[in-house]
Amino acid sequence: MHYTYDLHLHSCLSPCGDEDMTPANLVNMAALLGLDIIALTDHNSAGNCRSAIQAGEQVGILVLPGMELCTAEEIHMVCLFPTADQAEQFAQEVYKSLPPIKNRPDIYGRQLFMDTDDGILGEEPLLLVTASGISIDDAPALAKHYGGICYPAHIDRASFSVLSSFGVFPRHLKFPVAEVSRNGNLQALRDAHPALQQVKLIGASDAHYLEDILPPEEDRVMELPERTPAAVLHWLEQGGKT
């Protein structure tokens, strides 16, 4: 079966995420647009994933728990896991490595934990958009330890990306997939970076606002034997093959 997907979405737990991006709202908007599979990837936290998964079950959309990890090198990585438990355990490791900088809601916005009915469960006090202590070299093994996968986010962006930090795509880390931002030019990227020839490039909306969630697109489809987190993670590990 073919499934449309968007594996990079933020909720109101991200300080830069709109407060209307509650787990219920973002899941409902994704379902309304016709997406089959989404992932919740807040900055350095998986705190709203459990609610998003539950909201997804109510409307029949598969939600993978995840995180957008900011590595020690300030490179953003999409990390995805089979279960909320595993995502939360990974998130605890990340949390322990964050610098002790408090969020300033007046500057950055609130970082809200929400239930599936738009109720506020709490607020994250530490600023989540700082660099964690986890390096890009260690991130894949740490994600794997919790049953997950991680790959570079928006590699074509001028900041917080593997290409902006390193200038080249790190061949030695053997990423099977990498994410390109919504207006990325795949051919130009491949021409400029031969190391990307073996890498499956996937798109994502990286939405922080409901209206920025992209509708399904022809090139954001995965062929899976079943619509489960395990099948999605396997597809990613195989570089877009079933």
Which residues lie near Zn ion (CB under 5 A)? 68, 76, 153, 206
User: Least Å distance between CB 43 and Zn ion?
Assistant: 7
The smaller minimum CB distance to Zn ion, of residues 8 and 193, is found at: 8
The smaller minimum CB distance to Zn ion, of residues 129 and 224, is found at: 129
Indicate the residue whose CB is closest to Zn ion. Answer: 76
The smaller minimum CB distance to Zn ion, of residues 53 and 67, is found at: 67
User: Least Å distance between CB 55 and Zn ion?
Assistant: 20
The whole-angstrom separation of Cα 124 and Cα 27 is 21
User: Least Å distance between CB 185 and Zn ion?
Assistant: 19
User: Helix, strand, coil % (nearest 5) of the chain?
Assistant: 30, 20, 45
**Phi, psi for residue 62 in degrees, rounded to 5:** -85, 125
The smaller minimum CB distance to Zn ion, of residues 18 and 68, is found at: 68
User: Least Å distance between CB 78 and Zn ion?
Assistant: 8
The smaller minimum CB distance to Zn ion, of residues 153 and 231, is found at: 153
* 35: three-class secondary structure by DSSP: coil
**Phi, psi for residue 150 in degrees, rounded to 5:** -140, 145
**CB of 178 closer than 8 Å to CB of 189:** no
User: Least Å distance between CB 154 and Zn ion?
Assistant: 6
Question: Helical H runs in the chain?
Answer: 23-33, 49-59, 84-96, 105-108, 139-145, 162-166, 186-192, 229-237
